[in-house]
Structure 1
Amino acid sequence: MYSTTPQNVDVLIVGAGPAGVMAALSLLKCGVQDIKLVDFAPKKTVGYADGLMPRTLEVLRSYGVDKKLFEVASHIHRVSTWNYDHATKSPKFAVRMPAVPEPTARYPFILGIPQGSIESFMLEPLNARGTFVERLYSPSDLEISSDQKALLDPSAHAVTVTLRSEDSEKPPQVVRAKFVLGADGAHSAVRRLAGIKMEGSQTPHVWASIDFLPSPESNFPDWRNITTVDGDGVNILSIPREDNQVRLYIELGSEEGFINPQTGRVDLSRCSAEQLLSIAKKVFHPYVMEPASMSDVIWWTVYGIGQRVADKFSVHERVFIAGDACHTHSPKAGQGMNTSINDAHNFGWKLAYVLRGLAPLSFMKTYELERRAFALELIEFDKWYAEGFSSKARIKLQEETGVSLPGPFEAFIAASNLTSGCGVHYMPSSITAEQSSAASGLVVGKRLLPQMLLHSADHAPVEIQDLCPSNGRFTLFAFVGNLDTPEKREHLAALASEVEEALDPFPGNLITTFTVVKTMSDAYTYLDLPSYMRPDWTSVLEDAHGPPDAGRAYDVYGISDSGAFVVVRPDGYVGLTASMDSVTSLTRYFGGFLQKTDIEAHV
């Protein structure tokens, strides 16, 4: 027997992996604290995902959890390729290139760090505010209210979930939630209970991953770069890890006997770490890349590759899924954990707006609109990339059709806009306006490009992305051109009055305003700007030369001396660009989704 007295919460998050923890952190940063976070598994200490891409690093910095990551992670700056030399029957060096060729990347490298460490760093601010993971719990039943009035009322606890544990010491729980997020992985119980289907297929490719500390005798030259090694039909991807460790992804193929013919799924009982190292040894020969003993093997697994996307990401905008629960693909391009984190980053602030009465329930439709479109794009890339990564697939295609697929790194580099995360582009919606010519260098729907500016008061440099933390606020940048004549000063005074009137219907502390001056003559200081356009001394910036890369924002963003407005969404994506004579576009933009409410934006 157990108590059926339900616990009421605003948000129940099932799954405390990268997606679940990021969603909780995003909600917390946006003022939502009534969060219940559960996970069916113990805390991860080794293995699983291990790479953070440039855009994800920008996102994590916006939450203030990047510093420890940078300290402990392996910084990966290069990739290399070694092809099979038929004459010597051994790997032969082919090429080295930058790991991140994306020109707009603020961080032109990849961080290698275990998933468990990333989760721990993100959990720290949650734990500090009293939110902890309840482990070894999984949903056994999920019921969404059939009462249409309740479904349309964001304040109603419209979803009832029963949580059970395999640990007999942990009693079942009944939770009544306003919203539920299933971030519980590829075999998501939330997805299954909500009746959401996965669309796609399982590929024939079988891969293994193994983490170990290389022996002192290991002498493969590129072990500290991401490296592909072609072993005449067996491909290996080597990734440097923290603490001098290395991870090998090893292409196996179903003929190796790792598939259970009755289930069609990978059977770990049919393989061992010793087998995996034996395969790798043959591929690296005559080089050595192996642990000194089996005690230096940290983690390993074998898995098949599915390429699937959920047919929908929510049910009634009450139950949602994120991360591997709604898309699965190969891990070779390092997209799984990164996509999961960015799913949750997109989701959290939107749900916070609904919970706080700032936006209607329909606002949540933009989550699926934006993230499912990206997932579909990612799966199409992954199909191409996974085939190119498999040396068996490349050989078979060459033999059967004469068509040559690109090698793995050629494909990775060619798609760097996608793989780095820097090129994600959200289509027009209520929160993403149509493209305008006011800031031709910024794409509406893409992230705000990094640029260095100077605080006008003391000329201290600041990265513009750091002025847009993930705290639930929109950021309005008024690029006002030059401040060098009395006439310009008078024009700014009139402009400030117009902007203040345009934004007056909306909660004042929901929009952070910065003024960016192109040049300011010595006759003026930041105090000469209208008070509305300088809420404090840090709010006035100059696009002046000084530190490296400063003084280029107007040019890079394609903004003329006439100036422009740039609105950045709470997730760091450009929502609107407009000319300075189109102040009313600000009212139309925010009025398109914000509810006129007296609720204070407590962020």
Structure 2
Amino acid sequence: MAQHTVDVFIAGAGPVGLVLAYQLTRLGLSVYIIDAADKSSPDFPMYGRACTLYSGSLEIMDRFDLYEDLAQVGYVSKQRFTYADGQRVQGRGWKGVDGISGLTHFDYILNIRLKYSEDIFRAKLADKDVQINAPTKLLNFNLDPKVGDDYQVRATCEDTHGNSTTVRAKYIVGCDGGGSTVRKLAEIPFIGERKVDHWVRIDGIIKTNIPERRMGLGAFESKTHGHVLYVRLDHGAVRIGYVLNAHLFEKYGTRMSAADAAAEAAKAVAPFELEFTEIHWHTVYGIQQHVAERFQDRERILIAGDAAHTHSSGSAQGMNTGMHDVNSLSWRLAGVLKGWYKPEVLANYSTERHAAATQLINNDKLVSALISRKLPESMKGRKEDPMVLLDEVLEEQQLFSNGLGISYAPNLLNDVDGSYPPIMTTPGHRFPDFMIHRNGDNRIPTRLHEITKYNGKFRIIIFTGIATQTRRALQTLRTAVDKQAPRFQHAVDFLTIVAGMGLAFEDHLGVPQFGRAYWDHDFSAHFRNNVSLDHGSIVVLRPDGLLGHVSGMDRFDHVVGYLERLIVPGEVKVATNGHATRKELGTFMSENENNLAMPVENGATREESGLIVR
């Protein structure tokens, strides 16, 4: 029997398992990943399943350095259409691309079928020399807390030839779908229900006279086929989705042929003509809405993606929710394994993502019923057409569905105690992207999210305000950071955003900058975040890009208190002069650590004071 010893055992090599494995390996951890399906088999349905990535997920893919490869293949959707009885219906339909201009750099949807996104993820893992073991089934696993090392998980797997493998791991993560073996073996209840409704999805190449067929996202309000989905896909393909009502289900059942699925798709978009010249994939599926009781069990067992929650495809949330799970889990699990973060940080994954999944299921109950032209229980008595009510619900859910509005309540990581100076974002919410400039580059800005890519660490951002107004506070802060920050430097990166423009950061500020520094030429980064130019602010971003804590520049002790409850302090080597060595402090210290410039006098030039705006 073969044996392997790794940091993390991952069951399931779909998008969630693949991306989780990739993010863990990028931080130097070892993984063993299996999948029960043989995706090399010609009988495996490679083209269907998840296909739409919303703005919030595209931001995650960008932070994970996966976006560029996806964008090379996918189809961008910036507009959408809706027709009812052949007439354009203004305002109604899918809301994923509405009203988000200015909120994100990714103000669109990217449609790419799972075959191609998984190919990209597998290639990334191959570059890390990670082998995907498939087809291989997880037979069982157990935890032994009495082992003499940290490898408490013992998992037994078997391939199709009957060959067994034992994997010793520190953690096991179930990314193995709605029928998750990990969840079942851990005896985690899967709470929910199976609906009587059935929907059809069919992909392929079409001929059609739909007027706006090049748009990436559309809908048809059909009295016989419900709210009909039209999605423009990669490689010139299209997906049509519709409801198999009781009459049609009695006629076709779940064994509906590809030809019948195509014929009904043509009826669903009437009075327009539609013909499938190639059919790549089709499915008939029943709707299930479940949430696992918990996403972590006995500390060492975790679940994510469909293993933790299942729902309809009505709002295209499956892969998107899974990517938010990975964004929430990967840095916590890696940080605990590397000794950076306390166990409570990992436990917080289940708390936050369970709440988000519960909200998703509640949303899906409304959307899936209305798509099927049924009134959900909470809307009984409403007289409007279900399509009108669906539009109302989609509007209410828009920011959550596109991922930009996903947020978490005050907790261990989200420091909402009322003692911080108010800024535009509340802790627990996504921190916005905005433009800033590198030193000497006045023409081409860069985005905050571009320079805060995933590395598993917290980011402490110093908004300096106008240096002439905040010089003394900056000097006090510099002293506090040099004294307190070295304990956390293994898990924290600093960033300085300087209001105005100058020629050198240290000259301009009167103190060495905190980590890398960037100019806020026109003060827009300060204004957008409601940061006072007279006082500045300290902002702490969680490793997943959400705001965790806000303090005034004179309250670095509050930042320290926040970090102390999350981060395992690191050792700092002390030199003979009693100071931490520059090697240990990294970017916290400057080359001239004792050269603190005096405050600028009232006669300072506009260039010295940072008030130059071009």
* TM-score tier after normalising by the smaller chain length: 0.7 to 0.9
Task: Using the TM superposition, give the Cα deviation of residue 354 of structure 1 relative to its aligned residue in structure 2, in angstroms.
Answer: 1.1
Q: Secondary structure at the match of 2:123?
A: helix
Q: Which whole-Å deviations, capped at 9, do the CAs of 1:366-404 have from their partners, x for residues lacking one?
A: 11011111000111111111112122x159999976465
CA contact (8 A) 1:456 1:526 kept: no
Q: Secondary structure at the match of 2:357?
A: helix
Determine whether 1:95 maps to 2:76: no
Q: Distance in 1 between matches of 2:482 and 2:506?
A: 18
Partner in structure 2 of residue 121 of structure 1: 120
Partner in structure 1 of residue 611 of structure 2: none
Partner in structure 2 of residue 263 of structure 1: none
Task: Using the TM superposition, give the Cα deviation of residue 418 of structure 1 relative to its aligned residue in structure 2, in angstroms.
Answer: 0.4
Determine whether 1:458 maps to 2:441: yes
Over 3 Å counting, the alpha-carbon distance change for 1:559 and 1:307 in structure 2 is: same
Q: Distance in 2 between matches of 1:583 and 1:129?
A: 39
Q: Which whole-Å deviations, capped at 9, do the CAs of 1:263-286 have from their partners, x for residues lacking one?
A: xxx964x21111112222223233
CA contact (8 A) 2:198 2:249 kept: no
Q: Distance in 2 between matches of 1:480 and 1:471?
A: 24
Q: Distance in 2 between matches of 1:526 and 1:315?
A: 49
Q: Distance in 2 between matches of 1:56 and 1:274?
A: 34
Partner in structure 1 of residue 108 of structure 2: 109
Q: Which whole-Å deviations, capped at 9, do the CAs of 1:102-147 have from their partners, x for residues lacking one?
A: 35233111000011211222233321121121110121112222x4
Over 3 Å counting, the alpha-carbon distance change for 1:578 and 1:400 in structure 2 is: closer
CA contact (8 A) 2:5 2:169 kept: yes
Moved more, 422-431 or 302-311: 422-431
Over 3 Å counting, the alpha-carbon distance change for 1:330 and 1:357 in structure 2 is: same
Over 3 Å counting, the alpha-carbon distance change for 1:584 and 1:82 in structure 2 is: same
Q: Secondary structure at the match of 1:372?
A: helix
Partner in structure 2 of residue 543 of structure 1: 520
CA contact (8 A) 1:199 1:309 kept: yes
User: Match for 2:494 among 500, 513, 533?
Assistant: 513
Partner in structure 2 of residue 143 of structure 1: 142
CA contact (8 A) 2:505 2:517 kept: no
Q: Distance in 2 between matches of 1:426 and 1:516?
A: 26
Q: Distance in 2 between matches of 1:396 and 1:574?
A: 36
- Unaligned residue ranges in structure 1 (runs of 5+): 85-90, 260-265, 546-550
State the one-letter code of the partner of 1:541.
Y
User: Match for 2:461 among 477, 481, 505?
Assistant: 477
Q: TM-score, normalised by structure 2?
A: 0.86
Partner in structure 1 of residue 55 of structure 2: 54
Task: Using the TM superposition, give the Cα deviation of residue 31 of structure 1 relative to its aligned residue in structure 2, in angstroms.
Answer: 2.7
Task: Using the TM superposition, give the Cα deviation of residue 359 of structure 1 relative to its aligned residue in structure 2, in angstroms.
Answer: 2.2
Q: TM-score, normalised by structure 1?
A: 0.87
Moved more, 23-32 or 329-338: 23-32
User: Match for 2:474 among 475, 479, 492?
Assistant: 492
User: Match for 1:552 among 524, 531, 535?
Assistant: 524
Q: Secondary structure at the match of 2:465?
A: strand
- Unaligned residue ranges in structure 2 (runs of 5+): 40-44, 573-583, 587-614
State the one-letter code of the partner of 2:186.
A
Identity %: 26
Task: Using the TM superposition, give the Cα deviation of residue 79 of structure 1 relative to its aligned residue in structure 2, in angstroms.
Answer: 2.1
State the one-letter code of the partner of 2:174.
G
User: Match for 1:219 among 203, 206, 209?
Assistant: 209
Determine whether 1:35 maps to 2:31: yes
Q: Distance in 1 between matches of 2:377 and 2:263?
A: 24
Partner in structure 1 of residue 393 of structure 2: 411
Partner in structure 2 of residue 245 of structure 1: 237
Q: Distance in 2 between matches of 1:242 and 1:139?
A: 33
Determine whether 1:197 maps to 2:217: no
Partner in structure 2 of residue 444 of structure 1: 427
State the one-letter code of the partner of 2:6.
V
State the one-letter code of the partner of 1:588.
G
Over 3 Å counting, the alpha-carbon distance change for 1:399 and 1:430 in structure 2 is: closer
Q: Distance in 2 between matches of 1:435 and 1:205?
A: 45
Q: Distance in 1 between matches of 2:432 and 2:569?
A: 31
CA contact (8 A) 1:357 1:597 kept: no
CA contact (8 A) 2:344 2:566 kept: no
Partner in structure 1 of residue 221 of structure 2: 230
Over 3 Å counting, the alpha-carbon distance change for 1:351 and 1:403 in structure 2 is: same
Task: Using the TM superposition, give the Cα deviation of residue 202 of structure 1 relative to its aligned residue in structure 2, in angstroms.
Answer: 1.2
Task: Using the TM superposition, give the Cα deviation of residue 411 of structure 1 relative to its aligned residue in structure 2, in angstroms.
Answer: 2.6
CA contact (8 A) 1:210 1:248 kept: yes
User: Match for 1:533 among 486, 508, 513?
Assistant: 513
Q: Which whole-Å deviations, capped at 9, do the CAs of 1:229-288 have from their partners, x for residues lacking one?
A: 1222312211111122110111003443369xxxxxx964x2111111222222323311
Task: Using the TM superposition, give the Cα deviation of residue 424 of structure 1 relative to its aligned residue in structure 2, in angstroms.
Answer: 1.0
User: Match for 1:182 among 162, 165, 174?
Assistant: 174
CA contact (8 A) 1:228 1:238 kept: yes
Task: Using the TM superposition, give the Cα deviation of residue 310 of structure 1 relative to its aligned residue in structure 2, in angstroms.
Answer: 0.4
Q: Distance in 2 between matches of 1:564 and 1:434?
A: 16
Task: Using the TM superposition, give the Cα deviation of residue 527 of structure 1 relative to its aligned residue in structure 2, in angstroms.
Answer: 4.2
CA contact (8 A) 1:397 1:404 kept: no
State the one-letter code of the partner of 1:62.
R
Over 3 Å counting, the alpha-carbon distance change for 1:439 and 1:106 in structure 2 is: farther
Task: Using the TM superposition, give the Cα deviation of residue 526 of structure 1 relative to its aligned residue in structure 2, in angstroms.
Answer: 4.6
CA contact (8 A) 1:435 1:443 kept: no
Task: Using the TM superposition, give the Cα deviation of residue 495 of structure 1 relative to its aligned residue in structure 2, in angstroms.
Answer: 1.9
Over 3 Å counting, the alpha-carbon distance change for 1:461 and 1:212 in structure 2 is: same
Q: Distance in 1 between matches of 2:79 and 2:11?
A: 37
User: Match for 2:350 among 357, 363, 368?
Assistant: 368
Partner in structure 2 of residue 208 of structure 1: 200
CA contact (8 A) 1:78 1:96 kept: no
CA contact (8 A) 1:52 1:112 kept: yes
State the one-letter code of the partner of 1:137.
T
Over 3 Å counting, the alpha-carbon distance change for 1:564 and 1:534 in structure 2 is: closer
CA contact (8 A) 1:502 1:586 kept: no
Query: How many residues were matched structurally?
Result: 560
Over 3 Å counting, the alpha-carbon distance change for 1:479 and 1:205 in structure 2 is: same
